């Protein structure tokens, strides 16, 4: 079950670690033995997901658990939509399995490389004013705790553990299975088009209310935003996807190959970033199509970047974006990537970025290898002024003292953590910074 020392590196190259031991358990018994064995040797334990987080949340310096051998759907009720899946399953695999069963997740983000447990543990979300993040679709969890015991939790069974573990940062135990509430498979109609940013902001509330899913991208030196509006079609609707040729041109060529080339030019010649950014904004083209939901939600991202994302109160979006529009163009180092804006409904999960408030999400990016620190610091100061909460898997500088002021149930989370992991078995430097020791 044990392997050699292995260096871990995340997708963006912003974090790495070398574990003392790497274990690849294939059942719950082996997961439990790995945890208790690590305790006997005084090792911390972290579960490795797909490494798509931009922080060090997945870094293992003691024992790393590799759950690539612990995947697949355990059970599915096509009548009720109740599905249980092993925690090492990626969202891409889960979507394919649900599709085969005639089921779907009601909402998703635009990346499907994450494992199910990694996605919920970091608070991964999509967009939709009436919908929550992926964790709000969780109805039950099984975890191996620090003492090796397997426990279940739900809204009625160990509810405090459930309220904490749905966005648990991997700090409460090793999630073994995730039970989800799914819906019958459905088709989404997608409309993507460039529009003046001022028009988008003026109609933001109306668009969020009138559509199932709405988001937009703004290039910092352009006047246009790329809006994305997705709505469910009636049951039985036939998908009308983009042709293979159109998909290749729009996504593989324009959004990945060509944009990647422009980014590399901008990295080599920073003075060209602003005109290239304006060119990218001006070159946006409209497209309309429909397809199975997960094929619309998910987008291929081959151009690598670093990212920070914060959730802010919905009502603060216009002011925050106004500050960014004024101050980002004044930065010494230009910004190549667009800003992504999404929304989500309030929920009751203790460390969810949308805990008890309807939220707008702003995600900022910079191309790999280009300076980003001043940009990210500026962004963090602006969103911090309105009580912004950082996405747990994306870059931020906050510590437990500050985060405690942003989350009303922060101390409750730490209480549950002390109950189930008093020796801090499931920690690493990132977890210690954001939760305290």
Tokens of 398: 């906050």
Instruction: Report how far residue 109's alpha carbon sits from residue 91's, in angstroms, rounded to the nearest whole number.
Output: 10
Report the pLDDT value the prediction gives residue 283, as an integer from 0 to 100.
65
Q: What share of the chain is helix, strand, coil (3-state, %, to 5)?
A: 35, 25, 40
- Give strand pairing partners of 360: 312, 343
Which residue in 209, 193, 226, 215 sits closest to 342, CA to CA?
215
Q: What domains can be seen in the chain, in order of their start residue?
A: 73-184 (3.30.465.10), 188-390 (3.40.462.10)
CB 360 within 8 A of CB 312: yes
- Coil, strand, or helix at residue 105? coil
Q: What is the pLDDT of residue 5?
A: 60
Q: What is the pLDDT of residue 338?
A: 92
Distance (Å) of CA 243 to CA 172, 256, 288, 289, 298 = 46, 18, 11, 9, 17
- State how far the Cα of 159 lies from the Cα of 163, in Å rounded to an integer: 6
C-alpha to C-alpha distances, 281 to 39, 127, 255, nearest whole angstrom: 53, 22, 12
Tokens of 346: 């309030």
Beta bridge partners of 192: 228, 287
Is 231:212 a contact under the CB 8 Å cutoff? yes
Query: How does strand 21-23 pair with strand 63-66?
Result: parallel
The Cα-based distances of 216 to 191, 213, 357, 360 in angstroms read: 11, 11, 21, 12
> What is the CA angle 129-130-133, rounded to 5?
85
- pLDDT by 10-residue block (mean), the chain, 437 residues: 69 92 96 97 94 93 96 98 98 97 97 96 97 98 98 98 98 98 98 93 95 95 91 96 82 80 92 84 82 94 93 96 94 94 98 98 96 98 98 98 98 98 97 95
């Amino acid at each position: 079950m044990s392997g050699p020392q292995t260096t871990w590196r995340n997708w963006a190259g912003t974090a790495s670690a070398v574990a003392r031991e790497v274990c690849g358990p294939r059942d719950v018994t082996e997961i439990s033995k790995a945890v208790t064995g690590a305790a006997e040797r005084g090792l911390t334990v972290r579960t490795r997901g797909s490494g798509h987080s931009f922080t060090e949340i997945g870094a293992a310096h003691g024992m790393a658990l590799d759950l690539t051998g612990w995947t697949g759907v355990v059970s599915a009720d096509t009548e009720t939509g109740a599905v249980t899946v092993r925690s090492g399953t990626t969202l891409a695999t889960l979507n394919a399995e649900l599709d085969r069963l005639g089921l779907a997740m009601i909402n998703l983000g635009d990346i499907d490389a994450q494992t199910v447990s990694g996605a919920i543990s970091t608070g991964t979300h999509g967009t939709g004013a009436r919908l929550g993040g992926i964790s709000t679709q969780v109805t039950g969890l099984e975890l191996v705790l620090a003492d090796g015991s397997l426990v279940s939790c739900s809204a009625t069974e160990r509810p405090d553990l459930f309220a904490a573990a749905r966005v648990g940062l991997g700090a409460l135990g090793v999630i073994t299975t995730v039970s989800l509430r799914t819906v019958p498979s459905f088709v989404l109609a997608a409309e993507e088009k460039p529009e003046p940013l001022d028009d988008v902001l003026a109609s933001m509330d109306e668009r969020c209310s009138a559509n199932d899913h709405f988001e937009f991208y703004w290039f910092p030196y352009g006047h246009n935003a790329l809006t994305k509006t997705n709505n469910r079609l009636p049951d039985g609707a036939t998908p009308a996807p983009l042709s293979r040729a159109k998909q290749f041109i729009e996504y593989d060529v324009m959004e990945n190959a060509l944009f990647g080339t422009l980014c590399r030019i901008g990295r080599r010649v920073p003075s060209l970033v602003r005109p290239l950014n304006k060119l990218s904004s001006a070159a946006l083209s409209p497209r309309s199509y429909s397809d199975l939901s997960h094929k619309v939600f998910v987008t291929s991202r081959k151009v690598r970047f670093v990212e920070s994302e914060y959730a802010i109160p919905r009502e603060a979006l216009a002011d925050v974006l106004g500050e960014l529009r004024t101050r980002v163009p004044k930065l010494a180092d230009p910004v190549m990537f667009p800003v992504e804006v999404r929304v989500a409904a309030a929920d009751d999960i203790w460390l969810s970025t949308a805990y008890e408030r309807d939220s707008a999400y702003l995600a900022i990016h910079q191309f790999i290898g280009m300076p980003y620190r001043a940009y990210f610091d500026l962004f963090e100061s602006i969103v911090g002024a309105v009580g912004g909460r950082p996405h747990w898997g994306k870059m931020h500088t906050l510590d437990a003292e500050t985060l405690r002021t942003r989350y009303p149930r922060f101390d409750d989370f730490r209480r549950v953590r002390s109950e189930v992991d008093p020796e801090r078995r499931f920690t690493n430097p990132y977890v210690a910074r954001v939760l305290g020791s």
